[in-house]
Amino acid sequence: MAVAPLRAGAVIEFKDKKGILLAICKRLEGTSLRLLTESGKEFSYPADKVAHVTSHMLDPTLSDPHLKERLAAIRDRVLGVAGSIELADLWEFFSGSETDGITLEEMARTYFGESTGSDHQSALLRALHDDPLYFKKKGELYVPKPAEAVAETRRQLAEQDRRQRERGDALAWFRAARLGHTPPRPEGLERHIDLLRGLAIHREDFAGYTEAAGLLHELGEEVPDGAFGFLVEIGDFGPDENLMLLKEGIPTGFSPELVAAANEGLAASPVVLEAAAALASLYVPGGSPQLTCGPGGLPRLDLQELPAISVDDSETRDIDDALSLERLADGFRIGVHIADLSAAVPKDSPLDREAFRRATTVYLPDRTIPMIPEAISHEAASLLSGQPRLALSLFADVDTEARLRSFFFSPSVLRVERAATYEEAAEMLEDPAHPLAPLGALASKLREQRIGRGARVFERAELKIRVAPDGTITLKKRQGESVADVVVSELMILANQCAGVFCAGRAVAAVYRVQPPPQEEIAAGAGAVSRRFLTMVKKIQVQTSPGPHWGLGLESYAQMTSPIRRYLDLVMHRQLRRALGEGDSGYTEDALREAIGGAESAVEAAHNTQRWSNKYWLLKYLSGRVGEPTPAVIQEVRDESYLVQLTDYLFDIPFYPPPGRKYQVGDLLEVRVKAVDPRKGLLKVQEAGGRR
């Protein structure tokens, strides 16, 4: 606004963070005005920033209290008029006309009539400032907004009002729930609970951090640490809630539709196809078994009379492999029988798409999250003892020195004779009279052959953590390998080796696992794994073309022995069955790459969750043993500290010894648990008694 019309005593209006305010110009100061506001503040203000010059004039020589009183009277009159203005009516009048803009004076005349005065303009100015919904300021003019913009703004304002109302209701509910009350859940509560969940799970990385942090702050909790405790307090989280499981987005259940599909199980099929005789001729030892048919009428070897055992932990329910052994005139026929999940889960079916999304069964100390609904993974496809089950069988003929002479794959029907634990299997294998006893020596020779080809076999201890439904934590440490461990390990490697050779020899795209050699030479053989070894070996690559696996000492390796637990193993079954001439249920090379890429990200999420869960439950176990000594070994020497392993728990942790105390890698000592925070993943130890 121009400076010329302004003079001392003029009542003007200007914009402030509080809105439109009144002031009197006490005097001119060049391009600025010396103002006294309605609140009694006096300051200089740029003349060209004045929003409106009223027609009111006051005597600038009056005392400040008198001027404030006069300004207050004007303000009250203006506010009285402003409260009655309906901008929507004014907008509807102007919105249909083509105009570059409307002056404040013209708008006031239109709304109030020709007798409009300065107070009417001031009232309209405030209404336009306080409600920018209908008009846009353009210099000294006002332009009506398009109808679409007004409608969208109205929608946004209504949404804002709704969210503010729901936020207030949610805060009230939270405060009541904290006191132990259970009032009805208001509308929008779940969204606010989700905000707190997101903050607890993702912390500073949460996309809704600002809103969630404000909500938590209003509840009087520390941000973000207080989110988890508050959710436990109101009963939304359990005290042992697995936040990594939630962070990785791993589903813990199946939809009713998927459960229903799984409950249909494996359908029986009609009797044999004529072409089955050629398949039967491959199986000679013990007499050719009868042929039967599985789903789709495909021929299968009937191996229900073949003595086969499964070897798993006692709590395992998803049994996906079994072993058999038959004597030949000059050697043995080793049988590795893998549950044929591909017959139960058609490619691209809803169950298959869900298995691809999960990619793996997730084994946690307190639960198992299956890749496939339990009706299939624990029942219909699991190689339960005494039950006929569909399988994909590998028969490998070896001489007495375990040298592979030939092998073949065949779909089969299997009836596992016995489900053995590792301890029970070890007793069988160590009994010279048991029919499976030769497997112990054969497996050892298979391992020796791999070592001769450069394989590295390292003994690693294992700590299994289990949590009972009542929260009891039990630890079981396994040190070294039993004969059963060696047999199962080597025969699974043999089956995967044969799968790789079979596909590579037929130029079939497959899921090959390839490991390049390290840049620095590592001696072949067996022994204890070292931290240095782990830093030197290269990561295993999953690809569609064959290549050597350095660590296993094999030229080709395609993993297929756990289709119930690993999606890519299920993919391999489909590729093998396709190569065997069983329909076109396999994958193109591009489709394989897509399956590999999708599965690997899900597998990484599962591994992250397993690591977090094992650490959490171990630390919770140790939280009950604060102050107790435990043996440790120096793993690594650092600048001012050491890395030690708590040998009873196979857990590595930084260790700060007393001043002046020095250790070397391999030194044994005792440490004492000093402090534990399972939720934060923190464990502190201190020296208990020096070297051992």
User: Which amino acid type is present at position 66?
Assistant: H
Mean model confidence pLDDT for the chain: 90
Residue 331 to residue 327: CA distance in whole angstroms: 6
Asked if residue 456 has pLDDT above 90, the reply is no
Percent of the chain topping pLDDT 90: 80
Q: Which spans in 179-288 are helix H?
A: 189-202, 209-218, 226-233, 243-247, 256-263, 276-280
- In 3D, which of 279, 337, 341 has the Cα closest to residue 308? 337
How confident is the model over 363-403, as pLDDT tens digits?
999 999 999 999 999 998 999 999 999 999 999 999 999 99
How many Å apart are CA 513 and CA 361, to the nearest integer?
19
CA distance 355 to 598: 11
Question: 578 pLDDT band (50/70/90 cuts)?
Answer: confident
**For residue 270, what pLDDT band results from cuts at 50, 70 and 90?**
very low
| Residues 484/561, Cβ–Cβ less than 8 Å | no
Instruction: Judge contact between 45 and 63, C-beta under 8 A.
Output: no
Q: Residue 269's pLDDT is what? A: 31
Is 60 exceeded by the pLDDT of residue 525? no
Query: CA-CA distance, 239 to 38, in Å (whole number)?
Result: 57
pLDDT of 277 > 50? The answer is no
The separation between CA 184 and the C-alpha centre of its own chain, rounded to angstroms, equals 32
| pLDDT value at 266 more than 60 | no
Q: Please check the confidence at residue 530 and state whether its pLDDT lies above 60.
A: no
Give the whole-angstrom CA distance, residue 235 versus residue 213. 20
All residues at 6 or more sequence positions from 331 whose CB lies less than 8 Å from its CB, including other chains: 397, 398, 399, 400, 405
pLDDT (tens digit per residue) in 104-162: 999 999 999 988 889 999 999 999 999 999 999 998 899 999 999 999 999 999 999 99
Give pLDDT, residue 532: 57
The larger pLDDT score, comparing residue 634 to residue 508, is at: 634
Over pLDDT 70: what percentage of the chain?
A: 91
Tell me what pLDDT residue 579 has.
87
12 membership: H or E segment, kind and range: strand 10-16
User: Which domains does the chain show, CATH number per domain?
Assistant: 10-148 (no CATH), 161-239 (no CATH), 256-614 (no CATH), 624-691 (2.40.50.140)
The answer to whether 104 and 52 are in contact (CB under 8 A) is yes
So what's the pLDDT on residue 691? Answer: 58
- Dist. CA 572–CA 559, nearest whole Å: 7
Per residue in 313-367, pLDDT (tens digit) is 999 999 999 999 999 999 999 999 999 998 889 999 999 999 999 999 999 999 9
Q: What is the mean pLDDT of residues 534-547?
A: 85
Quick check: 449 and 457 in contact, CB under 8 A?
no
Please compute the mean of the pLDDT values over residues 4-24 and round it to a whole number. Answer: 90
pTM: 0.79
Q: What DSSP element (H or E) covers 670? A: strand 668-677
Distance CA 604, CA 601 (A): 5
User: In the numeric block, which tokens belong to residue 389?
Assistant: 């089950």
Which residues neighbour 548 within 8 Å (Cβ) at sequence distance 6 or greater? 514, 515, 554, 555, 556
pLDDT at res. 601: 93
Q: Is the pLDDT of residue 613 over 60?
A: yes
**CB 560 within 8 Å of CB 528:** no
DSSP 169-205: HHHHHHHHHHTT--PPPPTTHHHHHHHHHHHHHHGGG
**Angle (CA) 35 37 38, round 5°:** 155
* Residue 139 neighbours by CB distance under 10 Å: 7
